[in-house]
Amino acid sequence: MKQLKERIRQDGTAVGTEILKVDSFLNHQLDVVLLNEIGREFARRFSGEKVTKLLTIEASGIAVACMAAPWFGNVPVVFAKKTAPNTMTEEYYGAEVTSFTKGTVSVARIARKYLSAEDRVLILDDFMAHGEAAFGLVRLVEQAGGTVVGIGAVIEKQFQGGSSRLRQAGYWVESLAVVKRICDGIIEFA
């Protein structure tokens, strides 16, 4: 997506060789005009699928999924929680997820009433690195007996191999901006 790549070049910051900061428009402060276009692009790329739910993981994926929902006919957005709030008293699906950026392992949880065997789920997230979050979300959909129709990432760090692993496992992955490598502060797109 040309507009997204231009914004990354303009406002993104490379930290070392593995981290790309996009706080000013995607992860901390949100550019809702750009997010709307991101949502439209995901809908275009997955237009052949009957999506019944958009699934993401807290926190940065929520804005992406919410802005995409209208483009998919206002389907519900479900997000996995990384900690068990005391309000989650019902049974839930759970899967361990390793966070590359935080260096932590958590259990992603979704109350069972929000995913079912009838659901056709599109997984959306802000970043694709090693694919751990996506694989965790896939496991949650599988526990519910639902179908993963695809996985979308706003920004993919191709050099970390997540999308490759997901594709090898048979999943349809679409990334709107694919970073081939980060070197000497330069962000190189595939």
If the chain, 190 residues long, is cut into consecutive pieces of 10 residues, what is the mean pLDDT of each piece? 96 92 94 98 97 94 97 97 71 86 84 97 96 96 98 97 97 98 92
The pLDDT value recorded for residue 90 is 76
The pLDDT value recorded for residue 145 is 98
Number of domains in the chain: 1
d(CA 93, CA 91) in angstroms, rounded, equals: 7
d(CA 83, CA 106) in angstroms, rounded, equals: 7
d(CA 78, CA 65) in angstroms, rounded, equals: 9
Work out the mean pLDDT of the chain and round it to a whole number.
94
DSSP-assigned beta bridge partners for residue 152: 124, 174
Q: What is the pLDDT of residues 39-90, one digit of tens each?
A: 999 999 999 999 999 999 988 999 999 999 999 999 999 999 987 666 656 7
Domain of residue 121, CATH code: 3.40.50.2020
Residue span of the structural domain in which 98 resides: 2-189
Query: Is the whole model's pTM more than 0.85, yes or no?
Result: yes
Read off the tokens for 107. 């259990």
